[in-house]
Structure 1
């Protein structure tokens, strides 16, 4: 079986993204000002790893999602979104704990500002027994990150799984630093271990600012290369992305877009990158035979997928047929 025919697996959380909706006489629907103070929430399925899995499957990559899905109302919402996007969820444990909730307001630049309700929720309770079936999946790549790698008790089990899969599987990590839930120091302490395991590290400029305040992206890439990871991609918002492959670097611009919001844009970028590397038969082991041309093309495609996600509300990544023909 070639690497291209092997699926990509994505491990991590599903989060109910609850967006604040204006109410009152000028709002959409709901209570009027005469009814007293009110707040209406529009709940959409989200969570960085789940968003990545959805985006990958919509682009046409065979994708398995590995998440502990609650049996509550939000859990049913997550299942419906994943299945409708052609993501396989047969290895997802059914969890008795509640789903994680994130209440999101939007800043003036369209960026989401979150408050999390995540104590004792389903996403962080992984056991090695629950993760054991993943080793039989034969995935070409396992992508993970975000809170799954730092929230206990499950984080230790996830790291053990990465070490077990490493000989035959490309490992992709996105720290997706969330200071309201976990202090950046926690990520910073674990990052050298992750770099020693991972083949690909994808971070945003916000992640970089939390992990290494004041350090420029090029110097940060050198730090992570020395820790062991060969491929680092730092997304720079509207400025595109920096790709660094064992210290050989290139800047890739982003296409112009009228931003509705940036929710899920980084996850869509990761999906676009992995989709193109999967199509190039580059996944399935160490990333030791890539050309910069292949990487540049994959990152350029990823910026297109991210831009399309920014053009719509919420984490709603495009399907392959919805992308510009040039992509």
Structure 2
């Protein structure tokens, strides 16, 4: 019970949820049914990819900006941006549980984080006001449906670009380059992903992290949940031995619980993009122009230093954009 009170309370406060975590076994040959809290139904988690990717896909190459950004409030007639400006707010799908990328501050109630700052930059370019945003909290599994059903204009939620997803939504250029690692208790003997055989390892539904874990040679027993803070709670309750996902997310979990540590090298690349409905190619070009601006004027670096500092090593240069046209 070394951390059951302090660390669990911090994780739950940040998550804004109770302690009943909906843990579900992954439908794979190495899965195991983890005992679930009362009232939680156990059913196989969906896989992350629903369509076969194009063998020639270059998913991280996006659409080139059409030119200089228009003045805020003066978007081209008939454009996606003009529709958003006419509405008066940008509707964004975000995480509210993952410090320091997208989370609701338990003191102020404000949604904050590195991902959120990317949205503030887009809002500022649209309206001349970085705060004209309506946030909608969504899970990892809800990111693509929320865009396809028109519930949001954009998703900023540690959304890894890959070929299967790029068939379903439009991605910006890469705004953050993360990599998958492993989080364990500080007294664990696990050194890297190769030591996870027979271990219960947690990841979120609909994440590339979950998919990557099905392919590692150690074949861990996988458990899926809705939010990354749920994984931390499962570890604290003894229902999971490890969590594996992007190092950005793991750094935030480790900051919440000093009795954990991040181990091993990266074993999968996780390039993040802002996502929009597949039909809104003009908005992709607009967002890419915004990202060009914040890379050049120092905003990206300032945001990185503010939210991540040196947790992942020296502050890197912003990811260089790549374009298909």
Mark yes or no: TM-score above 0.5.
Answer: no
Query: In proportion to residue count, which structure has more helix?
Result: 1
